[in-house]
């Protein structure tokens, strides 16, 4: 059953259920008497776009490097804090669009309550009874029509009497007014150069009385009504209020039923491309509310179906927060209730934005990738100025955060992360990855310049260490701290292990892309020479993969970031067949991190699931999936990031990367293609039982279908995009296959 469902209304935001179409978002509380719809529009960000480049950066860079080389790390960090920080040090913040309140009369004493999110239709429903009267609500957000639609019905003698109004975190609006006798509008018009927007709600298809009074629109004595709401900002449209009016006029003329039907077709075109089925459907468990199932799993009870529901929910969340024409999914996808959210709810690019999109290609949702690459293209252009003005380098660079304006100057006064120059490079590794799944040469041709500009920066910025190897300086291992021989702690270094791993993945992709596009051989020669000059990976005193060039102890052994295992996942460098010693060092690293309390945030735990998958241990991968559900999941199945109480922002905060990263990891447990051959069930746990999958995409562009019983594949379908020779490892044996473009190859076992 593709549904989340509950027997009570949402007590708070982290129990509400999300709707989204990439651009518009809403969290629906489902309250009978005082309904709340918390609203978002992806382009509503606070603040102004500024030139934040520090004018003292370029002149200070040689001094910072010399201090690091001579072991004066603390002095280097303090100089970097003053001269490499952005001015001002913070970027823009993603913000809520406000709230829509529906206050009903006579709805307090309800019974037989049910609140559901249908993942197959992207439709929410609420139903309850008061006496003999039945009340039902449907909620959806349409991508074709760009509206939020709510249909309210009262049957068996029930009546709808309510008023609706709009707010924005109480008194943060510029103007709220009723209009047209059936609408209410919120208009936010800030100072010049800031993003303005309009929210408008209108009542239609109502068989009762509709009127406006003050800032309220009121419905009386009705048995049915439809609410239509839309939002538009000045980021996209100069005359954004007119766009809002036009959308609502069209939606009113179209009517709810047609809006609903077209939305369902549009959504299912994406959602139904793949299907994962785990075990035999347990009807008894399916009849339990989702929060009760989560409680049972936390108590140690088995429920493979909840893992499947979590996976399907991740696909729903990605479709809801990243569509063609929208901005990419932020730290919270599209859903954020605050004006000043944690970490500004923007794009953190030292793993989090990248993790949001790991699942996109294998889940057959390539259409949802376009906002990511469009942002990367803007990052590339802004990064040229950052490279030139801050470092005196050619090419393009970004640090560990960007925002709606694709700001590439360093963010925060945060030594463990701010002064790190590989943000754009990490983002760019997705270019080859996406091409490998889609074989879309036009896409590769469009984005090859991102590779070229990022490579030019690296060529200019890299320096030789004492051993003659090319390293980045200054650098960090995000967001970790090491202990020096004298007992002091430090973050900055020359050439962290992650640098080598990302640069290796980046230049390998750049070389292959250049070969596919037939670029000048000198491009490939230069990239290859740089690649061959990087430092080798080192194994430390505990048998672990070193995180830094020196075998330092960590100040926080259970740190949430495990950056130096990037080469294991999402990278493709550490494999069972090519690098067994490094694979074992990665295993030791992971064990030590977990023993010290690592994996305490949702996104970190999702990454750990993927690590165990690449290490071939399905049982430990599944154990960590259960840990994700046990300690890092809200009642609405959204991922959480626990926070120190010292931040005074509550105990935890929603981040979408745990949901989306775990879905990517689950697919990696199911099928791997990064070693050049197809590996069926490489890390599948016995606990998840029998199952099937269809529509799974793999490298090379093939689409996979598979059935398995008792951890053995019984049926395999491969439909390639191109003619190719592939080896397939299935049930412990390799087979050589001759695949023809567009022809389905079926194997039975």
Query: How many C-beta neighbours within 10 Å does residue 370 have?
Result: 17
- What pLDDT score was predicted for residue 1? 66
- What pLDDT score was predicted for residue 280? 65
474: pLDDT strictly greater than 90: yes
319: pLDDT strictly greater than 60: yes
What tokens were used for 655? 């981040």
Q: Which of 195-209, 501-515, 611-625, 639-653 has the lowest mean pLDDT?
A: 639-653
Which residues lie across from 187 on neighbouring strands?
Answer: 175, 198
301: pLDDT strictly greater than 60: yes
Transcribe 546-561 into DSSP letters: PSSSS-PEESSTT-S-
Q: Which long-range contacts (CB under 8 A, 24 or more apart) does 252-259 make?
A: 252/202, 252/204, 252/228, 254/145, 255/205, 256/149, 256/151, 256/205, 256/226, 259/140, 259/142, 259/144, 259/145, 259/147, 259/149
pLDDT digits (tens, 9 = 90+) for 587-632: 999 999 999 999 889 999 999 999 999 999 999 999 999 999 999 9
C-alpha 563 chain-centroid distance:
18
Structural domains of the chain sorted by starting position, each given as residue range(s) with its CATH number in brackets: 3-45+94-272 (2.70.98.50), 50-91+346-539 (1.50.10.10), 686-748 (2.60.40.1180)
- What pLDDT score was predicted for residue 279? 77
Helices (H), 272-398: 283-286, 290-298, 304-321, 352-356, 370-391
Query: How many C-beta neighbours within 10 Å does residue 643 have?
Result: 15
- What pLDDT score was predicted for residue 720? 96
Question: What's the mean pLDDT in 328-347?
Answer: 95
Alpha-carbon span 78 to 297, nearest angstrom: 47
298: pLDDT strictly greater than 90: yes
- What pLDDT score was predicted for residue 171? 61
Which residues lie across from 142 on neighbouring strands?
Answer: 147
Report CA torsion sign: 254, 255, 261, 262.
positive
pLDDT digits (tens, 9 = 90+) for 500-545: 999 999 999 999 999 999 999 999 999 999 999 999 999 999 999 9
pTM more than 0.95: yes
């Amino acid at each position: 059953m593709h549904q989340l469902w509950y027997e009570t209304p949402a007590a708070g935001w982290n129990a509400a259920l999300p709707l989204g179409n990439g651009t518009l978002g809403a969290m629906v509380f489902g309250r009978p008497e005082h309904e709340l719809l918390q609203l978002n529009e992806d382009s509503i960000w606070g603040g102004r776009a500024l030139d934040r480049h520090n004018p003292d950066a370029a002149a200070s860079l040689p001094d910072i490097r010399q201090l690091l080389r001579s072991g004066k790390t603390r002095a280097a960090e303090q100089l970097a804090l003053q001269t490499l920080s952005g001015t001002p040090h913070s970027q823009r913040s993603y913000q809520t669009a406000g709230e829509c309140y529906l206050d009903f009369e006579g709805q307090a004493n309800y019974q037989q309550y049910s609140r559901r999110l249908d993942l197959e239709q992207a439709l929410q429903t609420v139903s309850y009874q008061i006496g003999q009267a039945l009340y039902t609500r449907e909620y959806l957000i349409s991508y074709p029509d760009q509206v939020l639609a709510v249909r309210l019905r009262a049957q068996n003698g029930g009546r709808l009497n309510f008023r609706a109004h709009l707010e924005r975190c109480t008194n943060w609006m510029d103007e709220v007014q009723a209009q047209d006798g059936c609408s209410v509008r919120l208009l936010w018009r800030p100072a010049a150069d800031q993003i303005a927007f309009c929210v408008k709600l209108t009542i239609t298809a109502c068989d009762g009385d509709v009127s406006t009074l003050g800032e309220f629109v009121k419905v009386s004595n009705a048995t049915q009504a439809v609410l239509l709401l839309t939002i538009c900002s000045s980021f996209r449209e100069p005359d954004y209020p007119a766009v809002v009016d036009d959308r609502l006029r069209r939606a009113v003329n179209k009517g709810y039923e047609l809006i609903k039907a077209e939305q369902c077709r549009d959504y299912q075109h994406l959602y139904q491309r793949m299907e994962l089925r785990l075990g035999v459907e347990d009807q008894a468990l399916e009849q339990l509310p989702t929060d009760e199932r989560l409680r049972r799993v936390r108590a140690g009870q088995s429920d493979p179906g909840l893992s499947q529901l979590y996976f399907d929910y991740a696909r729903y969340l990605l479709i809801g927060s990243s569509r063609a024409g929208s901005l990419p999914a932020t730290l919270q996808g599209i859903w954020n209730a605050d004006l000043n959210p944690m970490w500004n709810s923007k794009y953190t690019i030292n793993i989090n934005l990248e993790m949001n999109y790991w699942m996109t290609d294998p889940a057959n949702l390539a259409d949802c990738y376009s906002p990511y690459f469009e942002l990367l293209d803007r990052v590339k252009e802004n990064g040229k100025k950052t490279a030139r003005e801050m470092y005196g380098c050619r090419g393009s660079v970004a640090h560990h955060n960007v925002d709606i304006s694709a700001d590439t100057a360093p963010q925060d006064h945060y030594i463990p992360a701010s002064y790190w120059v590989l943000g754009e490079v990490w983002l760019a590794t997705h270019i080859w990855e996406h091409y490998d799944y889609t074989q879309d040469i036009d896409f590769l041709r469009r984005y090859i310049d991102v590779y070229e500009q990022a490579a030019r920066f690296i060529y200019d910025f890299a320096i030789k260490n004492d051993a003659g190897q090319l390293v980045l300086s200054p650098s960090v291992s995000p967001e970790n701290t090491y202990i020096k021989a004298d007992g002091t702690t430090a973050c900055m270094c020359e050439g962290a292990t992650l640098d080598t791993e990302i640069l290796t993945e980046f230049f390998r992709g750049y070389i292959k892309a250049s070969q596919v596009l037939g670029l000048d051989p000198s491009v490939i020669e230069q990239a290859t020479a740089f690649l061959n000059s990087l430092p080798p990976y080192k194994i430390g005193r505990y048998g672990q993969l070193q995180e830094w060039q020196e075998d330092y102890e960590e100040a926080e052994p259970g740190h949430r970031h495990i950056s130096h295992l990037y080469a294991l996942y999402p990278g493709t460098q550490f494999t069972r067949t090519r690098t067994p010693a490094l694979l074992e060092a990665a295993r030791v690293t992971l064990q030590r991190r977990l023993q010290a309390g690592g994996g305490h945030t949702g996104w970190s735990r999702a990454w750990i699931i993927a690590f165990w998958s690449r290490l071939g241990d399905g049982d430990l991968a599944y154990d960590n999936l259960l840990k994700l559900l046990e300690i890092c999941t809200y009642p609405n199945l959204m991922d959480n990031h626990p926070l120190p109480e010292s931040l005074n922002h509550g105990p935890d905060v929603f981040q979408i990367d745990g949901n989306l990263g775990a879905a990517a990891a689950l697919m990696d447990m199911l099928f791997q293609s990064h070693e050049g051959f197809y590996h069926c069930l490489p890390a599948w746990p016995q606990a998840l039982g029998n199952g099937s999958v269809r529509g799974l995409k793999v490298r090379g562009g093939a689409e996979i279908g598979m059935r398995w019983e008792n951890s053995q594949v019984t049926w395999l379908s491969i439909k390639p995009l191109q003619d190719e020779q592939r080896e397939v490892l299935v049930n412990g044996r390799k087979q050589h296959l001759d695949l023809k473009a567009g022809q389905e190859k079926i194997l039975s076992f």
